Amino acid sequence: MRVHQQVADLAPHSTGSIVIKGCIWQRLNVVRVSILMMVLLVTASWIFLFTLEGASLSGYFSAKNLYHAKELLGNMLGLGAETPAFLDMTSWHKALALTYETMQMSVLAIGFAGIGMLITVLPAARTVADGSLTLTSTWYGWLVFGTVRFLYILSRAVPELVWAMIIVFMFKPGILPGAIALGLHNFGILGKLCAEVVEDLDWRPVRSLRSSGASWWQMLFYGVLPTVTPKFLTYLLYRWEVIIRTTIIVGFVGAGGLGQQFKLSMSWLHYTEITLLLICYFLLVVLADATSGLLRRFVQ
Amino acid sequence: MARQFVKTHDRAILTVILVAAFAWSLSAVPWDSTVIHAGGKAAILQMLKAMVRPDLSPETLKLALVSSWRTLAYAVAGMSLAIAIALVFGVLAAGILVTGRGRLAVMGFFRGVLGFMRAIHELVWAWLFVAATGLSPLTAVFALAIPYGGTLGRILADMLNDVPPEPIRALRASGAGKLQLLFYGYLPMAMADMTSYIMYRLECAIRSATIMSFVGLGGLGYQIHLSLQDLHYNQVWTFIFFLTALVMLVDLWSNQLRRGLVP
Amino acid sequence: MNGVKKNTVAPMFQLNNITKSFGGGFSLSPLSLVIQKGETVALVGPSGSGKTTLLNIMANIIRPDSGQVIIDGVPAQKLRPGRELSRRVGMVHQQFDLVDQLPVIHNVLAGRLGEWGLGRSLLSLFIPQDKHLAVHALERVGLSAKIYQRTAYLSGGEQQRVALARLLVQRPAAILADEPVSSLDPARAEDLLRMLVGFAREDEQTLVASLHSVDYARRYFSRLIALRDGAVYFDLPVSAVDDGTLARLYDLGEDANGEAICQNP
């Protein structure tokens, strides 16, 4: 892509019409095949669900299920309960402490993910590996590129919760295993996003610094970093919002915070406590969105 | 002067704030031997060793293949339902079908509904559904479709609102009604962006379908769970690699499709 | 006028029979040029005639396929990028090529990067080093009010002046400018050219600029080199250029394999 651009810059008289025609044909083809595949996949999935998996609409929307659902809702709203947890000061106190802990876990997680990403992102950019940015390309550069990219895919393909299940084998319950699990998953996502930012970097200002006599490191600090920082910060904040939403999930396997309590209340059938925890979770999400929005406006 | 300083160094200041927040969160962890299990270190080593020697026996591979299909099928079914939800709610939330006084009210209401749907994580939805109705394949599909429909609907509404107004005005001038505007103007123009976003969410849906194992749904997540409990780390990695391959395939497909859609 | 200076013998640029071709069949045919110190030279010619390629070769950014490039008496292949090169040659581009996210002052001080070590250049991002140089340069281009603005917020003309200020700080022996005014409106373009040529004369620098407009070239420069299809079409002092010659240069229809009218050694 970048090479094409470069050639196009230097040679304006390239013969492009044939290439463009080829592209259109290929484009339609990809789209058409994708639509066909999608339709097949959707049909196959629903057939599979209703045959082999035994899903049944009439069985699902039955009077019995409706009754159970109503009962659950009633329990959660505290109908018939002596003192619903969400009207009880001590319960609130406990829940807010857990919310605070959850907040810490999320910050710890994005910190881990961010540090991991910063260390690995430069070699993970194709433009760095193939030398179009730094003018040097080496076999070990490609090796590191491949390894880091594989790590990114692996860590983002595995959901936070599965990482958490593995990690609670090693760490005692608390916010650390939760943060590590969340951090691992988001490391892969941040890495991919930020490597793309580096790849899409306009290399002309960087090369222009070169002609002012800048060294490799000076190009990094004067050309690359200032340009990518705003996008990196935006992605960090955006992923932090997502992490806040997911903290409750890693708690399910004993990784601390609101989620852990949520699961306990579930198994003890303390329905009003569940409501209270959901309220706190909701508040946390809203608060995090607002904070992140505020900070994001700061960098723009 | 102080204003000038903040303006020039805003990114540096933000970075300092973020680093301070990270330091604060680090202080919440008791950094001593109590954070790790007695056999924790050994477990980490075993886990890492197993990573380079995943279980490749025919039975495990067959199981992994079947489980991958099951996870994919649930993800696709959930996504298709989510798209249907998003189309209805997103169009309503964009406020392009309603004019006049009720428009803002309709927009606000449906945006609120979409917000509520996606504020709650799919696994929490699943848990609530299971608590209410017991486990059924449809539980998992609905639990997936609700938050995903919320997200997709919100994005669709935003995209419809960002559609350039000129072609719409031209269509309206040629006598198109509201529904005609929708199908000849708004939807085709938002199609390309929406498709690449849907492909990205499909990747997420595969992960979400995986963790539905927590409410008892079969598939890759369930197998990972079982293997972990039996301490069969080699098998754990087999299933993880299958999951990775599944995500890579969708990623590859979505890249190809995106290249095909963007002129 | 520059003959009084110390190392007068070596010309600023000496190109001997250089060729360069790209995949698209676009090339510089064997081309030789000598540019003395202190000259102000305009490169003109239809687009695709090889002006940018020639400038990039003179800036030692790309290497010719064959032939010899001597910059300030030193063969180009011996000049490593970095201080050695940046003291001799500086370049302004059509798209300004500034780092948008940095405040103006750091973009200007980037002209000092060749002189500074890594530590000093990092410190400068927090406490600007050699600040007086930047202040002075920005005063000369009339932008001192915008010293702490983020560069992205500046208009095209202002950004081009920042690029100029960077060159003032860098103080190379020769300035190469690739279509420096093509993205500016006429009034700003004239301002900038006047400044560029004025500074080069004041500081006794060599200036080579490629230009779309022959009009500007005749008004501000002392020597015109016209390129066509990768070869020197004419090379004349401004006073010797007449309208007929110029008309033939841009006349693509007839005279497609037009010969060089005058080859000035």
- Which residues, numbered 111 to 150 in chain A, qualify as contacts with chain B under a Cβ-Cβ cut-off of 8 Å? 111
pLDDT band at A79 (very low <50, low <70, confident <90, very high): confident
> Which residue of chain A has the CA closest to C152?
A227
Average pLDDT of chain B is: 85
Do residue B248 and residue B158 come from a single domain? yes
Q: Count Cβ–Cβ pairs < 8 Å, chain A vs chain C.
A: 97
Nearest chain A CA: its distance from B255 CA (Å) = 11
Domain boundary among C128, C144, C170: C170
Look at chain C and report how many structural domains it folds into: 2
Do residue C49 and residue C123 come from a single domain? no
Lowest-pLDDT range, A87-91, A188-192, B71-75, C259-263?
C259-263
Do residue C178 and residue C64 come from a single domain? yes
Can you give the residue range of the structural domain that contains C122?
99-170
pLDDT confidence of residue B3: 67
d(CA A24, CA B261): 10
pLDDT confidence of residue C175: 92
List, for residues B82-119, the tens digit of each pLDDT value. Answer: 999 999 999 888 888 777 778 888 888 998 899 888 88
> Which residue of chain C has the CA closest to B12?
C126
Do residue B194 and residue B230 come from a single domain? yes
List, for residues B141-185, the tens digit of each pLDDT value. Answer: 999 999 999 999 988 998 888 888 888 888 888 878 888 888 888
pLDDT confidence of residue A3: 37
Q: Above 90 in pLDDT, residue B206?
A: yes
Most A-contacting residue of C97, C150, C169, C170 (CB-CB within 10 A), to test interface: C97
Do residue C180 and residue C84 come from a single domain? yes
The answer to whether B14 contacts chain C (CB < 8 Å) is no
Do residue B67 and residue B33 come from a single domain? no
Yes or no, beta carbons of C90 and A222 under 8 Å apart: no
Do residue B38 and residue B57 come from a single domain? no
Do residue C11 and residue C114 come from a single domain? no
In a domain, C74, yes or no: yes
Do residue B72 and residue B116 come from a single domain? yes
pLDDT confidence of residue C5: 46
pLDDT band at A11 (very low <50, low <70, confident <90, very high): very low
Assign domain A97-299 one CATH number from 1.10.1060.10, 3.40.50.720, 1.10.3720.10, 3.30.930.10.
Answer: 1.10.3720.10
Do residue B246 and residue B119 come from a single domain? yes
In a domain, C41, yes or no: yes
Do residue B15 and residue B82 come from a single domain? no
Yes or no, beta carbons of B260 and A278 under 8 Å apart: no
Give the predicted TM-score (pTM) of the model: 0.77
Domain ranges of chain A: 97-299
pLDDT confidence of residue A226: 87
ipTM value > 0.85: no
Do residue C25 and residue C72 come from a single domain? yes
Q: Which residues of chain C have pLDDT under 70?
A: 1-9, 23-26, 252-265
Do residue C150 and residue C228 come from a single domain? no
In a domain, C93, yes or no: no
Do residue B18 and residue B134 come from a single domain? no
pLDDT confidence of residue B82: 95
Do residue C163 and residue C178 come from a single domain? no
pLDDT band at A13 (very low <50, low <70, confident <90, very high): very low
Do residue B14 and residue B138 come from a single domain? no
pLDDT confidence of residue A28: 61
Look at chain B and report how many structural domains it folds into: 2
Q: Above 90 in pLDDT, residue B26?
A: no
Do residue B28 and residue B85 come from a single domain? no
For residue C176, what is the domain's CATH number?
3.40.50.300
Can you give the residue range of the structural domain that contains B83?
53-261
Residues of chain A neighbouring B261 (CB-CB closer than 8 A): 27, 31
Do residue C211 and residue C247 come from a single domain? yes
In a domain, C144, yes or no: yes
List, for residues B45-78, the tens digit of each pLDDT value. Answer: 888 888 888 888 888 899 999 999 999 999 999 9
In a domain, C94, yes or no: no
Neighbouring chains of C at 3+ CB pairs under 8 Å are A, B
Q: Which residue has the higher pLDDT, A109 or A272?
A: A109
